[in-house]
Amino acid sequence: MSVVIRTAGVEDASQVLSLWRRAEAEPSHTDDVDSIAALVVRDPEALMVADDGDGIVGSIIAGWDGWRGSIYRLVVAPGQRRRGLGGQLVEAAEQRLARAGAARLQAIVVETDLQATAFWRATGWEQQVARLRFVKG
């Protein structure tokens, strides 16, 4: 499988949303074209996708707020899993965040998603258990 990992543009928003639905990523109230467009306009390098030439088969958001790098929405199409694509996306995100100046990274992972938690435990990232996360919205 020949896949190119690239930054996504506003024009990719519909395909990214389609990927998230196909992969059954936990839905969010920001799963819409306008929210993805706002992300890309604010931080043009944050959203990266894996493109196999026929469409988008993976995504990752590598956000940088000037303090800490955050990784969200690591999603790989069901038919493309277990081929190393998730690891390639994480590596691309880590490189992007290092170039931006991030010395500390965090990944937001759905605790009840057994595939996701198994993936992250196998990456060498450390699971932080002494913190709670509070959200609004």
Q: pLDDT per residue over 37-64, tens digit each?
A: 999 999 999 999 999 999 999 999 999 9
Query: What ranges do the domains of the chain cover?
Result: 4-122
Residues in the chain, overall count:
137
User: Domain 4-122 in CATH: superfamily?
Assistant: Gcn5-related N-acetyltransferase (GNAT) (3.40.630.30)
Average confidence (pLDDT) over 113-134: 88
Positive or negative, the CA dihedral 106, 97, 35, 58 is negative
Q: How confident is the model at residue 28 (pLDDT cuts 50, 70, 90)?
A: confident
Q: How far apart are the C-alpha atoms of 53 and 1, rounded to whole Å?
A: 10
**Cα 97-114-96 angle, rounded to 5 deg:** 10
pLDDT of residue 45: 96
pLDDT surpasses 70 at 1: no
pLDDT of residue 25: 87
Q: What is the overall mean pLDDT for the chain?
A: 93
* Contacts (Cβ under 8 Å, ≥6 apart) of 66: 101
Q: How confident is the model at residue 9 (pLDDT cuts 50, 70, 90)?
A: very high
Q: Are 64 and 46 in contact (CB under 8 A)?
A: yes
H helices present in 1-61, as ranges:
13-22, 33-42
